[in-house]
Amino acid sequence: MSTAKAPDDKPSGGVTFPRWMAPIAGFFAFAVAIPLVHGVVPWSISLLARRYGWSEGHPTIWNQLGLMPVTIAIIGLIWIMVIGLAHTHQLPERVGLDWTPKIFLSGGPYAFTRNPMYVAELLLWFGWAHYYGSVTVFLGFALFGAVSNFLIVPNEERALEAQFGDDYLQYKRRVPRWLLSAGARK
C-alpha cells in the first residue's frame, strides 16, 4: 500500500489537536456524523412524499433490495475507517482541523476509486431511495452526486495535486475518480 506524507508536517495556523486524538475524531465522524447525514436525513426526506412500493406502512421485498447497496456502503465505510486508522501514525504530531490533506492513501479501497467515501455515501443514498421508494430521496442522491462530481471532488483534487505533486498525478492517471470509469481518467 502506497502512502505519502504531506511535505510540510507543520499545520498552518488555526485549531490543531494532538495526533492521538485523530482516531477519536475519525470514529466520531464515522459513528455519528455519517449516520446522521446519510441515514437520518434520507429517512426524514422520505417522509415528505409518497413511498412507492410500500404496503401497509412497510417496505415490500422489492424495496428491501435497497438494503443491499446500503450494506455494501457500510462495509466500504468500515474498510475506509480501518485503513485510515492504520495510518494515523503517519500524521504530524499536531493535526490541523481543516480540509487540507494530511496523508495520501492509495491502497485498500483507494486502489479502486480515488473517492471511496463519496462512492459509499452515494451508494447509501441510492439504497435508501430504493428502500423508501422515495423520489425525494432519489433527488437528494442525484443532487449529492452532481455537487460531489462537479464542485467538491475537483476542488479536493486540486488540493491533493498541490500537496502531493507527482505522486498524486501518477495515482490520478492510474485510478479512476469513480468506480468503473470508462475512457480517460479525469
pLDDT computed for residue 181 by the predictor: 61
Kindly report the CATH number assigned to the domain that includes residue 68.
Answer: 1.20.120
- pLDDT tens digits for 33-76? 899 999 999 999 999 999 999 999 999 999 999 999 999 999 99
Asked if pLDDT for residue 30 goes beyond 90, the answer is no
pLDDT computed for residue 184 by the predictor: 41
Instruction: Quote the number of domains for the chain.
Output: 1
Question: Could you tell me if 72 and 123 are in contact, meaning their C-beta atoms sit under 8 angstroms apart?
Answer: yes
**Residue 140, domain member (yes or no):** yes
**Residue 184, domain member (yes or no):** no
pLDDT (mean) for 14-27: 87
pLDDT computed for residue 186 by the predictor: 52
pLDDT (mean) for 89-100: 85
pTM for this prediction: 0.87
**Residue 64, domain member (yes or no):** yes
**Residue 6, domain member (yes or no):** no
- 73: containing domain: 18-174
Task: Tell me the three cell numbers of residue 139.
Answer: 433527488
**Residue 11, domain member (yes or no):** no
pLDDT computed for residue 101 by the predictor: 80
d(CA 128, CA 12): 39
